[in-house]
């Protein structure tokens, strides 16, 4: 575009969706202003410093079907930073750790009747080769899973995972959402009898985040600002006109806005949205996340992922990221995540960090009786209020379009990933899709 025709786009949020959108828009000559309310960039994919190296606040891993992330990594010249490893998975049930990473492990999983183990495996295979999910949107995950794998298999494997994560909503979650979780992981198997192969970037998501940020900093038409909290998105005659920031009431005129914040945040700063549209967006409910990041003197287990079904342990998994990422160079030490997904109104969301650590220590000790709190060298607790949309039956009807009723206001939100779970790859896809819409509309 010629400079006298240059359009200004404000991007709210410097997570991977916002950074990807800004990257594509900036390369096409748009004036882009990225506004991040935090002092750091990356959103849910951001990092903290542990031993002078960036480690993600919340755990992430890459599946073989995450093409949007993989393509962007290649596009940025970072392909040599992406590595794949066979994953080791365990299942802790009734005080015992079972192998749970291959079909052969499943055959030995005696906590479930033999025929239901077979049905579980067949459901994984069928899900891997299923691409149509629309009918599953109208079916509950609980009833679908019981029909597919049997009651005892559901009780042992899926019920605790859904119940701990979704609480009162556990029996209303859409089968389409749970299908895609099975599908995504199953697509990471190179052969049906092998374990999944998961990918990781050497410095985690920071690898892509910093590469995108560096690209933007090198563009004379792009601006990346932190500590820039939006007060209001303004419009006139049904069209976006600009943004006001909280600090100093600074006003930024613009021709378009890309919002990557959660829908409840968007509603607070956009008073001019029609009431019927606001009502629709308000029907989407979210879970928050509280996640413990622990650096340990030695691993808890030799597995990447340990699913947990134990009434005495309030969390449903331990993710030992260092058992996947072989480039962390920790000298035999370990990095583990323990997440809780829950409503922000739930008491545990507001527990003190020390109280959460007491729960983590007790749970880890139950999984590995040899564990001692002295193993913990460093720990961090991170929280996010809108980590996961609650995808109940019929959720497809609630998913909003990227284009809002206000001309020039576009949204990306994890609801639009549906039936896909929240992934970095999906965030990148949504950001680049919206950028493409703006480019096409103004060309």
Ordered by start, the domain boundaries in the chain are: 3-44+204-283+400-442, 102-194
Mean pLDDT of the chain: 94
Out of 3.30.950.10, 3.50.50.60, 3.10.20.600, 3.20.20.70, select the CATH number for domain 3-44+204-283+400-442: 3.50.50.60
CB neighbours of 406 closer than 8 A, spacing ≥ 6?
233, 235, 238, 239, 240, 270, 272, 273
The stretch 290-309 carries a mean pLDDT of: 96
Residue 259 pLDDT level (bands cut at 50, 70, 90):
very high
8 Å CB contact between 206 and 81: no
Cis amide linkage into residue 419, ω under 30° from 0: yes
pLDDT value of position 5? 59
pTM: 0.94
Enclosing H/E stretch for 355: helix 353-367
What would the pLDDT profile of 137-160 be if each residue is shown by its tens digit? 999 999 999 999 999 999 999 998
8 Å CB contact between 29 and 388: no
How far is it, in rounded angstroms, from Cα 336 to Cα 334? 6
Residue 2 pLDDT level (bands cut at 50, 70, 90):
very low
């Amino acid at each position: 575009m010629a400079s006298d025709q240059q359009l200004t786009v404000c991007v709210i949020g410097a997570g991977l969706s916002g950074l990807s959108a800004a990257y594509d828009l900036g390369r096409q000559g748009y004036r882009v202003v990225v506004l991040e309310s935090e002092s750091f960039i990356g959103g849910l994919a951001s990092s903290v410093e542990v031993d002078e190296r960036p480690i993600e606040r919340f755990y992430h891993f890459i599946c073989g079907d995450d093409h949007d992330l993989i393509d962007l990594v290649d596009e940025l010249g970072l392909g040599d930073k992406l590595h794949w490893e066979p994953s080791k998975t365990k299942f802790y049930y009734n005080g015992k750790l079972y192998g749970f990473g291959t079909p052969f492990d499943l055959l030995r999983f005696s906590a479930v009747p033999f025929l239901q183990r077979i049905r579980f495996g067949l459901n994984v295979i069928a899900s891997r080769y299923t691409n149509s999910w629309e009918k599953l949107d109208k079916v509950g995950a609980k009833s679908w899973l019981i029909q597919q794998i049997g009651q005892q298999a559901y009780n042992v494997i899926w019920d605790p995972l859904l119940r701990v994560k979704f609480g009162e909503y556990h029996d209303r979650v859409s089968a389409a959402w749970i299908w895609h979780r099975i599908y995504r992981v199953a697509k990471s198997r190179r052969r049906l009898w092998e374990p999944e192969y998961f990918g990781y970037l050497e410095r985690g998501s920071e690898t892509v985040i910093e590469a995108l940020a560096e690209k933007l900093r090198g563009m004379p038409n792009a601006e990346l600002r932190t500590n820039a909290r939006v007060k209001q998105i303004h419009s006139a005659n049904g069209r976006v006109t600009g943004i006001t920031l909280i600090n100093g009431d600074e006003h930024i005129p613009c021709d378009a806005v890309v919002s990557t914040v959660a829908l409840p945040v968007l509603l607070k700063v956009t008073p001019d949205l029609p009431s019927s549209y606001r009502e629709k967006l308000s029907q989407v409910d979210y879970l928050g996340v509280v996640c413990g990041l622990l650096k340990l003197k030695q691993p808890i287990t030799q597995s990447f992922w340990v699913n947990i079904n134990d009434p005495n342990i309030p969390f449903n998994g331990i993710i030992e990221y260092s058992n996947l990422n072989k480039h962390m160079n920790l000298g035999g030490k370990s990095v583990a995540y323990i997440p809780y997904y829950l409503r922000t109104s739930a008491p545990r969301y507001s527990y003190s960090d020390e109280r959460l650590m007491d729960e983590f220590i007790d749970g880890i000790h139950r999984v590995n009786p040899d564990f001692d709190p002295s193993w913990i060298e460093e720990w961090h607790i991170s929280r996010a209020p809108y980590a996961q949309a609650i995808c109940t039956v019929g959720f497809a009807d609630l998913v909003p379009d990227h284009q809002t009723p206000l001309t020039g206001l576009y949204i990306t939100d994890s609801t639009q990933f549906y039936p896909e779970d929240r992934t970095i790859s999906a965030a990148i896809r949504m950001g680049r899709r919206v950028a493409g819409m703006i480019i096409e509309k103004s060309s």
